[in-house]
């Protein structure tokens, strides 16, 4: 079993100095609005993957008017200990130590699998394709460093190619200038499309199962990777289609000054009972779909690494009816790994009903407080 044993938080968001110990199973973080529940989830996520799910800018994580933040925690996996220290000082590199060995931030992506659901995940359902591409890119990058590398290279090639299309459009040799970039675009782009479409298939099966269980099969959730390139079954077919379509777009690309085909324009379509979730779903359905995507991630991570990842669920209960709340609570209770959920509501009725065997952590003004000092209990 894999879990976070303890955590020390120093100058992270609204926490000054806090030490915490966790259960290997279910941990419930309780507190009023703006007390530090999400910040705590964020710190757990950060020490696991060395990035936040809320911001790209590490300096935002430093407590106001402080020079640095520091996180220290111990992960346990099959009786092995991993003591992690992460420290960040403004304008300098992030420093990461695992059992006293310094390591690189990106190598860190795969060590400690954790999956977070946050209310912002509703945007994955509600907004345009860019956010769904980001979702799949991040997920795929955590599963495969090769994908991560291909994606970085693809983005560089895309920038160069767009630069030529925009700035050199009157150059008589523009086709010659584009040629090497076309090759790179096709080869990297095709690998990305293939990886994404295979990942989507696997994810779709997991998502479907979770959503069937949560909604007693009333809401059939379906995922589909929609690409600007067809033949998404094997690499050669994708490359051929890409190579065939790219020259046809040449005139348009010159006019628009941009690359008009490739994985940077693709989408992950999400349907409930064959209706596009983006346009035709209720709040609760969107939340169910977003949560199902995350649980899908959990199961694919588990398959890859052979143990259950840590699940972090921030504010997941609001807008779920009592049946869905209870299902989710039971799901976490039965989960064979560690999980954390936050809530501002009184969920005693759920914890009493489902199980008393869980840890409750009460948060007030960036500190853990005693249950008794809480007003509403
Ligand atoms: P809610 O129930 O509304 O989601 P929450 O308990 O999840 O509330 P958090 O998002 O954890 O609240 O934020 C708690 C407080 O931390 C906020 O009031 C916010 O202004 C503050 N905060 C955020 N970033 C920093 C920072 N870098 N330094 C100090 N305080 C911060
Ligand atoms: Mg919050």
Protein residue with least CA distance to atom 28, ligand 1: 63
> Residue 36 CA: which ligand 1 atom is closest?
11
Distances (CA, A) of 96 to 5, 107, 275, 371: 18, 10, 45, 34
Looking at residue 373, its pLDDT comes to 60
User: Does any ligand 1 atom lie closer than 6 A to the CB of residue 33?
Assistant: yes
User: What is the DSSP code string of 282-313?
Assistant: -HHHHHHHHHHHHHHHHHHHHHHHSSPPEEEE
Q: What is the mean pLDDT of residues 325-346?
A: 92
pLDDT band at residue 371 under the 50/70/90 scheme: confident
User: Does any ligand 1 atom lie closer than 6 A to the CB of residue 54?
Assistant: no
Task: Give the angle 312-318-324 at the CA atoms, nearest 5°.
Answer: 80
Distance CA 216, CA 227 (A): 31
Q: What share of the chain is helix, strand, coil (3-state, %, to 5)?
A: 50, 25, 30
Residue 349 is given by DSSP the state: H
Q: Are 344 and 314 in contact (CB under 8 A)?
A: no
Q: b vs e for 293-308, b when ≥16 Cβ sit within 10 Å of the residue's Cβ?
A: bbbbbbbbbbeebeeb
Distance CA 14, CA 66 (A): 11
> Residue 66 CA: which ligand 1 atom is closest?
28
Distance CA 194, CA 358 (A): 42
Report residues near ion ligand 2: CB below 5 Å: 37-38
pLDDT above 90 as % of the chain: 82
pLDDT tens by residue, 2-37: 999 999 999 999 999 999 999 999 999 999 999 999
User: Does any ligand 1 atom lie closer than 6 A to the CB of residue 63?
Assistant: yes
What does the mean pLDDT of the chain come to?
93
User: Does any ligand 1 atom lie closer than 6 A to the CB of residue 12?
Assistant: no
Looking at residue 117, its pLDDT comes to 97
Distance CA 248, CA 353 (A): 63
- Long-range Cβ contacts of 206-211 (<8 Å, 24+ apart): 206/295, 206/296, 206/299, 206/300, 207/289, 207/292, 207/293, 207/295, 207/296, 210/291, 210/292, 210/295, 210/296, 211/288, 211/289, 211/292
Looking at residue 377, its pLDDT comes to 44
**Distance between Cα 36 and ligand 1 center (Å):** 5
Among 239, 54, 51, which residue's Cα sits nearest to residue 141? 51
Looking at residue 372, its pLDDT comes to 59
User: What is the DSSP code string of 171-194?
Assistant: -TTHHHHHHHHHHHHHHHHHHHHH
Looking at residue 221, its pLDDT comes to 96
Res 351 pLDDT > 90: no
User: Does any ligand 1 atom lie closer than 6 A to the CB of residue 30?
Assistant: no
> Residue 63 CA: which ligand 1 atom is closest?
28
pLDDT tens by residue, 226-246: 999 987 679 999 999 999 999
Q: For helices 129-143 and 145-167, give the axis angle rounded to 10 degrees.
A: 140
3-class state of residue 148 by DSSP = helix
Res 62 pLDDT > 50: yes
Mutate to test the pocket of ligand 1, among 12, 13, 118, 341 (most ligand atoms within 8 A of CB): 13
Protein residue with least CA distance to atom 2, ligand 1: 33
> Residue 39 CA: which ligand 1 atom is closest?
11
């Amino acid at each position: 079993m894999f879990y976070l044993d303890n955590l020390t938080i120093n100058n992270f968001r609204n926490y000054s100095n806090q030490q915490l110990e966790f259960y290997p199973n279910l941990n419930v973080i309780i507190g009023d609005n703006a007390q530090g529940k999400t910040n705590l989830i964020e710190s757990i996520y950060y020490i696991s993957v060395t990035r936040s799910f809320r911001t790209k800018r590490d300096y935002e994580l430093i407590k106001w008017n402080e020079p640095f933040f520091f996180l220290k925690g111990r992960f346990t996996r099959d009786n092995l200990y991993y003591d992690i220290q992460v420290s960040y000082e403004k304008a300098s590199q992030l420093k990461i130590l695992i059992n006293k060995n310094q390591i690189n931030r990106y190598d860190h992506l795969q060590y400690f699998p954790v999956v977070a659901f946050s209310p912002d995940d509703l945007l994955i359902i509600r907004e345009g394709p860019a956010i769904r591409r980001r979702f799949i890119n991040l997920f795929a990058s955590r599963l495969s460093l090769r994908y991560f590398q291909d994606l970085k290279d693809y983005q560089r090639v895309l920038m160069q190619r767009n630069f030529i299309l925009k700035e050199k459009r009157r150059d008589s040799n523009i086709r010659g200038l584009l040629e090497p970039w076309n090759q790179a675009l096709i080869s990297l782009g095709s690998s990305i499309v293939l990886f994404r479409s295979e990942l989507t298939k696997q994810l779709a099966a997991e998502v479907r199962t979770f959503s069937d269980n949560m909604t007693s099969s009333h809401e059939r959730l379906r995922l589909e990777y929609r690409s600007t390139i067809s033949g998404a079954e094997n690499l050669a077919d994708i490359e051929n289609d890409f190579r065939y379509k790219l020259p046809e777009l040449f005139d348009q690309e010159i006019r628009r000054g941009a690359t008009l085909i490739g994985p940077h324009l693709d989408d992950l379509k999400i349907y409930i009972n064959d209706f596009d979730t983006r346009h035709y779903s209720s709040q609760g359905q969107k939340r169910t779909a977003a949560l199902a995507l995350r649980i899908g991630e959990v199961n694919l991570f588990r398959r890859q690494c052979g143990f259950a990842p840590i699940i972090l669920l921030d504010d997941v209960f609001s807008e779920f009816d009592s049946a869905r709340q209870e299902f989710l609570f039971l799901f976490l209770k039965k989960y064979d790994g560690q999980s954390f959920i936050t809530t501002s509501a009184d969920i005693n009725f759920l914890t009493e009903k489902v199980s008393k065997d869980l840890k409750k952590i009460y948060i007030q003004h960036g500190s853990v407080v005693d249950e008794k000092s809480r007003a509403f209990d």
